[in-house]
């Protein structure tokens, strides 16, 4: 029996692991894919994490993971399919039928990329449609690409791609961006990026691979020739398996404040998967620490 099972090995989960090790709590981190450090590894550069500016997301993720390992983190590779609480004990069940029991759970499973849900998207995924500019950008050297979205991810992706591609269209459905002012400024001053506002994607067209994107631009149908389409239209919480277990908000985020406390005593939520206004590495890392504090209190009061 563990004191704590942490679900997810992104910044929130790894930070929780570091704090759990220092509090000498018997802890295991369950991760779907061994060696992951979460979505941060898909960011080209992170400039807003105190003391470690300019790191690539991948390098930062590796540092987080190495830190957790140095303090003795134990990992279990497997996809969680069910979480139950019977009496005061939590049982986490995996796709391989293995089970882990613990006195408390820290749920830090993060989010995944939202899809456009338009014609051609599923058909051309991996054939010109991508959800990760860091992973796939290099395939578009000297080519034309379109980035869809108006948040930090889309702006960052457009900047990254402008260093490889010949031309980058940045397509946003409204007339103003949601992303940070500093990224907007960089995007606007990058010659290779052409911003197209009030433009809603309606179809992805291709033969074997993508060759065009159809949009409604200012209400009129437009066809844009492009070799690749990078979809960056936000994220969806990984909370499907929690539906009947813990209270979620209308978008599926686990309802919890900074202390991570949820509607189920002993079940804490950390990182992007919980209700919060700022989803950043720094807030995820802070959630991990706060959750261990809450879990420690919970375990010590219960025993």
Joined together, the tokens standing for residue 5 give: 């099972």
Q: How far is CA 288 from CA 11, 19, 191, 205, 295, in A?
A: 8, 8, 40, 43, 10
Is the CB of residue 174 less than 8 Å from the CB of residue 150? yes
Q: Minimum distance from CB of 128 to ligand NAP (Å)?
A: 18
Q: Is 116 in the site for ligand NAP (CB under 6 A)?
A: yes
Q: Which of 135, 218, 249, 257 is catalytic?
A: 135
Q: Which of 3, 47, 96, 136 is catalytic?
A: 136
Q: Is 206 in the site for ligand NAP (CB under 6 A)?
A: no
Is the CB of residue 102 less than 8 Å from the CB of residue 92? yes
Find the helix or strand (DSSP H, E) in which 61 lies: helix 57-70
Which residue has its beta carbon closest to ligand NAP?
151
Question: What is the number of other CB atoms lying within 10 angstroms of the CB of residue 269?
Answer: 33
Active site residue 287: no
* Binding range to ligand NAP, per CB under 6 A, among 29-37, 41-49, 73-81, 215-223: 41-49
Q: Is 276 in the site for ligand NAP (CB under 6 A)?
A: no
Q: Is 182 in the site for ligand NAP (CB under 6 A)?
A: no
Report helix angle 57-70 to 11-22, nearest 10.
20
Q: Which is nearer to ligand NAP, 148 or 168 (CB)?
A: 148
Q: Which is nearer to ligand NAP, 83 or 232 (CB)?
A: 232
Q: Single out the residue of 7, 35, 22, 29 nearest to residue 245, CA to CA.
A: 7
Joined together, the tokens standing for residue 253 give: 């985020």
Q: Minimum distance from CB of 7 to ligand NAP (Å)?
A: 20
Cite the active site residues.
132, 135-136
Chain residues binding ligand NAP by CB under 6 A are: 43, 46, 48, 116, 148-154, 156, 173-174, 178, 232-235, 279-280
């Amino acid at each position: 029996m563990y004191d704590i099972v942490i679900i997810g090995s992104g910044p929130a989960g790894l930070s929780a692991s570091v704090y759990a090790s220092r509090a000498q709590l018997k802890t295991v981190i369950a991760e779907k894919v061994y060696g992951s450090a979460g979505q941060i590894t898909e960011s080209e550069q992170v400039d807003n994490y105190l003391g470690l500016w300019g790191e690539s997301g991948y390098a930062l993720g590796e540092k987080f993971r190495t830190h957790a390992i140095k303090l003795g983190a134990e990992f279990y590779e497997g996809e969680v399919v069910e979480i139950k609480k019977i009496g005061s004990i939590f049982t986490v069940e995996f796709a391989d039928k293995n089970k882990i029991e613990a006195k408390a759970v820290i749920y830090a499973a993060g989010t995944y990329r939202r899809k456009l849900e338009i014609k051609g998207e599923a058909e051309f995924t991996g054939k010109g449609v991508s959800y990760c500019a860091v992973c796939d950008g290099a395939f578009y050297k000297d080519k034309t690409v379109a980035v869809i979205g108006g948040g930090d991810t889309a702006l960052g992706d457009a900047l990254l791609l402008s260093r490889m591609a010949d031309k980058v269209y940045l397509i946003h459905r409204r007339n103003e961006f949601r992303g940070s002012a500093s990224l907007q400024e960089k995007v606007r001053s990058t010659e290779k990026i052409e911003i197209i506002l009030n433009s809603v994607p309606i179809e992805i067209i291709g033969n074997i691979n993508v060759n065009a994107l159809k949009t409604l631009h200012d209400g009129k149908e437009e066809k844009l020739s492009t070799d690749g389409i990078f979809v960056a239209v936000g994220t969806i919480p990984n909370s499907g398996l929690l539906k009947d277990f813990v209270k979620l908000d209308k978008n599926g985020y686990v309802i919890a404040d900074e202390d991570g406390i949820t509607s189920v005593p002993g079940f804490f939520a950390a990182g992007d998967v919980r209700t919060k206004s700022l989803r950043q590495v720094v807030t995820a890392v802070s959630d991990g620490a706060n959750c261990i504090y809450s879990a420690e209190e919970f375990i010590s009061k219960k025993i």
